[in-house]
Amino acid sequence: MRELYPEIEPYRTQRLAVSDIHELHIEECGNPEGLPVVFLHGGPGAGLSTFHRRFFDPARYRIILFDQRGAGKSTPHADLRDNTTWHLVADIERIREQFGIERWVVFGGSWGSTLALAYAQTHPEHVLGLVLRGIFLGSAGETRWFNELDGGARWIFPERWQRYLDLIPPEERGDMVEAYWRRLNSDDESVRVAAALAWSYWEGGCTTLVHDPDEQGDYEEPALAVSLARLEAHYFRNNVFLEADQLLRNVERIRAIPATIVHGRYDIICPVKSAFDLARAWPEASLHVVLAGHSAADPAIVDVLVSATDALADQFA
């Protein structure tokens, strides 16, 4: 099985103002003359991790990564103003133009897969290939599955769900996202942070196939928890700023673009049906359903992702 490439440091970092409010943190790694690829992180609001650089052969790829609006090292932190799917799509295109890239590979997982599809369907002429992991199509059903009482995820990870549930009084539990939204926007910082940590504990601990219910998860740092929870609640309560089934309806725009889709069979955060629905609409794409959960670090998912980026480098580099 393929493994991640060795750790690598950026050869350049920069800031890019994309509005009067927002300034993005951008990293470039690998070979400045290599095949350009843009990495789209999850969340929204999760920001970059150093291992995100490692899905690409650094000798053959020019790897461009950035923290989306309100996330990571981009500023202002956790800010919701002018922060929608379509603002982020415009930001990706702004980065492409800023770096003088004509066409590039687009790589995204979880929320990043949503954003990758929205970008590619808006600017197909600039996309050489797509590598998509943990498909999230932005539907109300997907959000309810993981975040609401009538969803299914609570039956899989009941220990974690209980902490997520306990923060909200019984009379408000009919709409958990809205109840969390009110707390994430409280004037009381302690209320905001407590809600963010409970939201992030629920999500961050449900990513892997091998699950320890006592493990803290990936988002225990308060600032990261706040950006993740606040931006996710903002996007989810607005149906991630997409029309119903929009990404499936618009597959025709990207049908000719080489694409690999990988999804964990036991992904509890983003159920595999979303990948199945996408592949049915897009039979030209290569679908891999593997023994894994949601995490991009699960070995079976790493194997497919690295194999896919290597294959695109063989084709285009």
233 CB contacts (<8 Å, ≥6 apart)?
177, 180, 181, 184, 199
Q: How far is CA 213 from the centre of its chain?
A: 23
Rg for the chain, CA atoms, rounded: 18
126 close to 97: Cβ distance less than 8 angstroms: no
Task: Determine the Cα–Cα distance for residues 224 and 71; give it in Å rounded to an integer.
Answer: 8
Terminal Cα-to-Cα distance of the chain (whole angstroms) = 23
303 close to 2: Cβ distance less than 8 angstroms: yes
From the candidates 22, 52, 67, 110, give the one annotated as an active-site residue.
110
Task: Determine the Cα–Cα distance for residues 53 and 65; give it in Å rounded to an integer.
Answer: 8
Tell me which residue of 50, 95, 41, 107 sits closest to 68, measured CA to CA: 41
Residue 25 — φ and ψ, nearest 5°? -95, 125
From the candidates 25, 52, 288, 294, give the one annotated as an active-site residue.
294
How big is the CA angle at 99 (ends 315 and 240), to the nearest 5 degrees? Answer: 85
Tell me which residue of 162, 55, 121 sits closest to 253, measured CA to CA: 121
Whether 110 is a known active-site residue: answer: yes
Q: Which two tokens stand for residue 193?
A: 């942070």
Task: Determine the Cα–Cα distance for residues 165 and 143; give it in Å rounded to an integer.
Answer: 15
Extended strands (E) in 163-308: 259-264, 286-290
Task: Determine the Cα–Cα distance for residues 136 and 189; give it in Å rounded to an integer.
Answer: 31
From the candidates 57, 67, 91, 267, give the one annotated as an active-site residue.
267
Residues labelled catalytic: 110, 267, 294
